[in-house]
Amino acid sequence: MTTTTLTGKIALVTGGSRGIGAAIVRRLSAEGATVVFTYASSADRARQLEAEIEAAGQRAVSVQADSADPQALRAVVARVVAAHGRVDILVNSAGVLVYKDLDATTLDEYDHVMAVNVRAHFVAIKEALPHMGQGGRIVNIGSMVADRAGGPGSTLYVASKAAVAGLTRGLARDLGPRGITVNNVQPGPTETEIVGDESVRAWLRTQMPVGRMGQDSEIASLVAYLAGPEAAFINGAMLTIDGGFVA
């Protein structure tokens, strides 16, 4: 069930054309926010999402921007501010996943993962801050792998998501006095295309105390709550939403 707790709010969601990011765009729009979301290469999917939200009588606009490119992120924030005058909600959802044997991992891959999964958060936040006032909400999308690596081949992804957790804690201290909260949502195994192998999904379900993987809409519901007025006292939190996977 959705409400309209975000009516009149301006939200920017990075990486919003698919998976958890798209679910967040849908939910924030349904809650009444005007949403601008970025995509790196999935133009058709971004347009489809725009059309879906418009058909529901809500507002969302997509903008192409590679989160690995700081200039592209700066341009997106500038576009939002030019159109709406401010940013009330920033959700840093864009991310890349690299699972490889350490011996086969390159420095270029390290740089790319950190650029998208960590640096992009920092850049978007820095650019949005001058246009975000009291009651501003920043939500980073991390991962439960920051607390439990889970298996071999995950070093780059784990390191990047642990960095997001640290970034969130520091920012909560820096921005809390300005009336802006910063929190980190850490999803566990979720039914999105990022886990495309059904045999992997079947194994993951056996590891879940609730007997299933999460739904992207469930992650989005937590993000929407953190973006709303009732979450004003939640700041610097690592909110794991994983069905008890790391319990």
Q: Is 157 known to be catalytic?
A: yes
Q: What does DSSP say about strands 59-64 and 89-92: parallel, antiparallel, or unpaired?
A: unpaired
Q: Tokens for 79, please give them.
A: 């576009």
Q: Which of 99, 110, 157, 225 is catalytic?
A: 157
DSSP per residue, the chain: ----TTTT-EEEEES-SSHHHHHHHHHHHHTT-EEEEEESS-HHHHHHHHHHHHHTT-EEEEEE--TT-HHHHHHHHHHHHHHHS--SEEEE---------GGG--HHHHHHHHIIIIIHHHHHHHHHGGG--TT-EEEEE--GGGT---STT-HHHHHHHHHHHHHHHHHHHHHGGGT-EEEEEEE-SBSSTTS--HHHHHHHHHH-TTSS-B-HHHHHHHHHHHHSGGGTT--S-EEEESTTTT-
Catalytic residues: 157
